[in-house]
Structure 1
Amino acid sequence: TFKTHLFYIQGENEDAQTYATLRTKAEEVEQAMQLPGNRIFYLSIPPSSFASVCEGLAQAGLATSASAASPYSRIIVEKPVGRDLASAQQINEVTGKVFDESQIFRIDHYLGKETVQNLMVVRFANSIFEPIWNHKYIDHVQITVSESEGVGTRASYYEEAGALRDMIQNHLLQLLCLVAMEPPYSLDPNVVRNAKMEVLRCLRPIVGKDVEQYTVRAQYAEGVAHGQPIPGYRREKGVNPNSTTETFVAVKAFVENWRWSGVPFYLRTGKALPKRASEVAVQFKDIPQILFNANPAAPQPANVLTLRIQPDEGLSLRIISRVPGTRAQTHPVEMDFQYSDVFGCPSPEAYER
């Protein structure tokens, strides 16, 4: 059975004996099961521990060189990669000393979500969208990742990261790139990455007094989640009572290129919010209110394309329709697609991919 192939070793990140024990166990299992010796080290740990782990793997001889003639050794680094530019560069330097770049995989599990993978398909496989996917027709884009739970048992990590580092600089920026990128000439990972990089290079920097104008930071207070009381963030176990770490952040961003000139991208994420929801909403510009708007003080709702990432993965398009009857009345309606309804099976979780 699967569980007979699982093994557990406990140790400290900075203890050389941990890695010696790991190597002994790995070689023992590889020999018993006649495995070729391919190894993947998945670092789902705080960024501050990356350096000591890489050095420990190297000293124990667990990080073999990249060679087609020998078993592979790879390292997977999960977000966030560092706290800032300097620490990210330091992590890249440390991992680069031990592993070749071809052996290093920096992942964002959000890219494994079904609707996130569907974003490129919606954009580039449907001729109705790409011609209007620009500043002439789109008013703004909202990217939301809302969590209803508090920090729970992750207080020590969250105190080090905060919502900005935990969510904005990886998950939400990945979504922004998929919405804003130019069509890649192939689906090769490097080609797609380069298309995303062009978007990031066009992001307007938020510096100085712009921070106050274009960003919001906050912490959750005492409240109720799923019918159960939760303490305010500063009263959570493991949180500094004077903490200034944000649990909510909102950013108004601009991609300064020809396609997106003047179109705001609203990014927001937080914990202990009223509901759990992740979605991308593309709101199109209003039409001239001439033919069907009987009340100029209450204009018609705009057309909105919403891609639901979780829960209820799917896509909806809000359009304006005529209300049956003798009067020329209109009403917004939703053209809705849900994965579970169409394909009849739940989508794999991001980590399952």
Structure 2
Amino acid sequence: MVSRVIPVEPFDLVIFGGTGDLARRKILPGLFRRFRAGQMTPDSRIIGAARAPLDADAYREMIRQGIEEFGGPESKDSESLAAFLDRLDYVSVDATVEEGWPRLAALMRDGVVRAFYFSVAPSLFGPLAEKLHEHAIADVDSRIVVEKPFGRDLESARALNRTLAEYFREEQIYRIDHYLGKETVQNLMAVRFGNLLFEPLWNNHYVDHIQITVAETVGVEGRGGYYDKSGAMRDMVQNHLMQLLCLIAMEPPSRFEAGAVRDEKLKVIRALQPVPVHHIVRGQYDAGDGHPSYREEAGNPRSFTESFIAIRAEIANWRWAGVPFYLRTGKKLKARHSEIAVVFKDLPHTIFEGDHARHRNILSIRLQPNEGIDLTVTIKEPGPGGMRLIDVPLDMTFSEALGQEGQDVPDAYERLIMDVIRGNQTLFMRGDEVEAAWAWTDPLIAGWEARNDVPKLYDPGSTGPDDALMLLHREGRRWREIKA
């Protein structure tokens, strides 16, 4: 199956932090794939902006190397790569000085979409926004893309929102969370709201519980300094897992439009109940099998920062009253595995006998490593010997269903940047969403800090601390297996 590609409007995209790791690994390789797919018009341009004293040719060479390293098989198309690099330019600028800004202003064109990607530290958002307006680089229709972290608590998130609001309207601000650009996440909305089959069952009458897992095999490695001030709660739960929770739990919006979708997501966050102490498990990976411990990698021998967290959450509304939402995420776990699992209730009565008579339907939405959706259903095991029941998945793995091993499925960054150019904010967070998420998260963090809570140690390559297993076991449930 070949997807139909619709070109976006001509644009000038300025990437602040254009020499950084994110730009080289994700942003520019993704833009190259969109160019190669025919989604970028020939007169669209990309301008790298950073403090490094490079000229345009040196920058193009840097990006060529990045695309060849991280761009996948498409980077072997040397003719397309050369044509893409021709659309790149570079300006050396510093958010704190005047030099370079007049040149950037002179490069801007009228009659095209102007977008500015802030791939920099949040402390530079304000100075960059000020310079864009001081030099009339941004106009009333310009868009800015900002990367997380969107603050580290409610107070700093509010301050960041106020800073951006001094120069840009909310409809110009795109707070990017790459998880929302994944094909599976968007298909979650299609499955829920495009099929009569599921929506009538999507409530506390039929759903027993929901599990959201984002497991990583890597440790903090070179990010130890940042991560030790953040932890799994701030780094993953407050944004990524919260957004997944909203999409799985929200009411059907009146229409598939940014404002309506984000209104419903906000209602979910505001309906989240406070979490009791015994419904939170924090962990920290220990040393083992030649791997250093978290404290060694973070360079802090007394760190109480969590590299793993599991939470039992509840939503106080009619649809979800009494349904637990189990969230877990961690580093140095058994496998790289991200999944949303909707576990349906047992049959009210079974006509079958024996130990294996009761089976549950489970809808599994896989985000990584193999994006797709499967529904576990119960059938008779083939062969003689009576009515023996087994569970089998109805599987839709995108790499198989879409053909060409998924090459037609854009990367999350590709999709989201093209949405910025289109002016579509549906898959981006709104300012009040961010603040509501921090309002729920802050008391949890304050609670364990006040208690001087020490994370439970767990072995690298495991599923996390044993206490996380008990979070479900004491209620007669089990975590889904973390598997590659």
Identity within the alignment, %: 47
Aligned to 2:272: 203
Q: 2: CA distance between counterparts of 1:114 and 1:144? A: 17
Cα shift readout 1:118-139 (whole Å, capped 9, x = no counterpart): 0111011111111111101100
Aligned to 2:129: 54
Q: 2: CA distance between counterparts of 1:256 and 1:119? A: 22
Q: Is the 8 A contact 1:48 1:82 kept in 2?
A: no
Aligned to 2:281: 216
**What pairs with 1:122-141 in structure 2 (closer than 5 Å)?**
122-141=191-210
**What pairs with 1:1-353 in structure 2 (closer than 5 Å)?**
1-8=83-90, 13=95, 15-17=96-98, 20-21=99-100, 23-30=101-108, 36=111, 38-58=113-133, 60-61=134-135, 64-66=138-140, 72-206=141-275, 210=276, 212-223=277-288, 229-236=290-297, 239-288=299-348, 290-295=350-355, 300-324=358-382, 325-345=384-404, 346=406, 347-353=409-415
CA-CA distance at 1:328 after TM superposition: 1.6
**Higher RCO (CA-CA < 8 Å; seq separation 6+):** 2
Normalising by structure 2, we get a TM-score of 0.64
Which runs of at least 4 in structure 1 moved beyond 6 Å after TM superposition? none
Cα shift readout 1:40-65 (whole Å, capped 9, x = no counterpart): 2222333344334434544x525535
Counterparts in 2 of 1:152 and 1:257: CA distance versus 1, 3 Å: same
Q: Which amino acid aligns with 2:97?
A: A
Q: 2: CA distance between counterparts of 1:119 and 1:89? A: 30
Counterparts in 2 of 1:155 and 1:299: CA distance versus 1, 3 Å: farther
| Secondary structure, aligned partner of 1:256 | coil
Q: Which amino acid aligns with 1:234?
A: R
Q: 1: CA distance between counterparts of 2:225 and 2:132? A: 25
CA-CA distance at 1:274 after TM superposition: 0.9
Q: 1: CA distance between counterparts of 2:138 and 2:124? A: 20
Cα shift readout 1:52-103 (whole Å, capped 9, x = no counterpart): 4434544x5255351xxxxx43221222210111100000111111222232
Q: 2: CA distance between counterparts of 1:48 and 1:247? A: 25
Q: 2: CA distance between counterparts of 1:82 and 1:185? A: 31
Cα shift readout 1:295-337 (whole Å, capped 9, x = no counterpart): 2xx6633211101111111111111111232412111111111
Q: Which amino acid aligns with 1:216?
A: V
Q: 1: CA distance between counterparts of 2:147 and 2:242? A: 15
| Secondary structure, aligned partner of 2:246 | helix
Cα shift readout 1:161-187 (whole Å, capped 9, x = no counterpart): 221111111111111111111111101
Residue correspondences, number: 329
Q: Identify the range of structure 1 (245-254 vs 151-160) with the bigger mean alpha-carbon deviation.
A: 151-160
| Secondary structure, aligned partner of 1:154 | helix
Q: Unpaired runs of 5+ in structure 2? A: 1-82, 416-484
| Secondary structure, aligned partner of 1:252 | strand
CA-CA distance at 1:198 after TM superposition: 1.2
Cα shift readout 1:98-123 (whole Å, capped 9, x = no counterpart): 22223222222211100000011101
